[in-house]
Amino acid sequence: MNVWYSLSDIPGNEASVVTIGNFDGMHNGHKKVISTCIERAHKLGVDAVAITFDPHPIQVHKPEVGLQLISPLRDRLDAMGAAGLDGTLVAHYDASVYSLEADEFVYEYLVERCGAREVVVGEDFRFGRGNAGTIDTLRELGRRHGFNVITVTDIEAPEGRRWSSSWVRELLAAGDVSGAARVLGHLHRIRGTVCHGFKRGRALGFPTANLSEDVEGVIPADGVYAGWVVRAVPGTQSAEFLPAAISVGTNPQFNGEERTVEAHVLGRSDLNLYGERIAVTFVSRIRPMLSFDSLDGLLTQMDDDLRQTASVLGIGVAGRVDPDSVTAR
């Protein structure tokens, strides 16, 4: 998939079916809109193109909300490419975009650069200065500029709720990562750089990769999770998936105050991930964050966490490692 970061990057002879949206998390509703765009493009024999925005408009217009993206832009683009799009324009969302009147946006973005033959959007789509443009506005502009408008009705889950990014955030805030995965249509992941921690886990036989404060993506509720650490294989385009028990929280057993994400790769004492940018993927919540009466009680629980994690991930059980065998310093 071609990725363009400015209008001038798009070839001048482009002809396409275009879809527009933030696509945060690329959940099942987004996938339906994008698949419709691709189907229409194939039927017309043109490219399927998406326009998305970075940063998210809410982060610009309502910074006090503190909106955190479900997934980093990199993961969003990977998912959009995997869906089958031919190209995506990442429009830098600033005054040059949000000050455009509806007809200016349509002409500059859809007609002049993307060569839109059709535009596919959700039924609640709004655009232009102050979100003044509606579906009816888009249809009228389409008649003027020679493109059709296809609307995709809201797609609902079996229980009748609309697939949405806000639903994903609710589930992650409750620690329901498996529920979030059902809405997303894929496992939720975050990205961060591995940094040095207090090394308490290492001394107990549970060395962990600690993520620094530059985490991208929504961190789920405090607790212990089964999941995967995903790291790039140096010199290749491949990734290595490492089974992990993931702890999110403040470590109440040790009177911790800072909220951290720590991933223990099952059975491994030979990893040195310091300074690497890794992804942590969440499969299922094992338990909430707890405080125990004794260190032995904590260790017994952590041994059980490893067994449950192995069961969830479908791998062999691995116990604690020998602290003296840990190679990372």
Instruction: Kindly list the catalytic residues.
Output: 262
* Start-end of H helices in 24-176: 28-44, 57-61, 73-83, 95-98, 102-105, 135-145, 165-173
Query: Are 58 and 51 spatial neighbours (Cβ–Cβ below 8 Å)?
Result: no
Residue 211's Cβ-count burial label (10 Å; 0-12, 13-18, 19+) is buried
Name the CA dihedral angle for 300, 305, 307, 313, rounded to a multiple of 10 degrees: -170
Rounded to 5 degrees, what are φ and ψ at 77?
-65, -40
Write the single-letter amino acid at 34. I
To which H or E segment does residue 51 belong? strand 47-54
| Residue 70 per-residue DSSP state | S
Dist. CA 193–CA 232, nearest whole Å: 12
Query: Are 189 and 218 spatial neighbours (Cβ–Cβ below 8 Å)?
Result: no
* Integer CA distances (angstroms), 226 to 248, 292, 307, in order: 11, 21, 10
